[in-house]
Structure 1
Amino acid sequence: MENFDQIESDILNKIKNVSDQNSLDSIKTEIFGKKGIITELFKKIGSLDQSQR
């Protein structure tokens, strides 16, 4: 599983650097979209051992 602290840091840095609505929409899609960071993490949960969930 990926390092959650690193993912959080990357997301926060991207949000801090938003300069306009288009940038915000792009980041929102990158994070929450169909192939976004969060979506991919949820998909990986199913492959983890029960103890790691």
Structure 2
Amino acid sequence: MNRRKKIKQLLEAHAKKANAKLAPKSNKPKYISKADRAKLEAEAAQELVTPAE
């Protein structure tokens, strides 16, 4: 690989990363671990039980 090609490749890679950061985020929901999901579910169940008393 010659020097010019190597430099061009690096600059293109940096530009691609910069554009990716500026791009709008997808509507994909943020990942929630299984333990966190269980904790949230337990809290929701507890809230349902507490107001009934």
TM over 0.5: no
Name the TM tier (shorter chain): 0.3 to 0.5
Length-normalised TM-score, structure 2:
0.42
Length-normalised TM-score, structure 1:
0.42
Rg larger for: 2
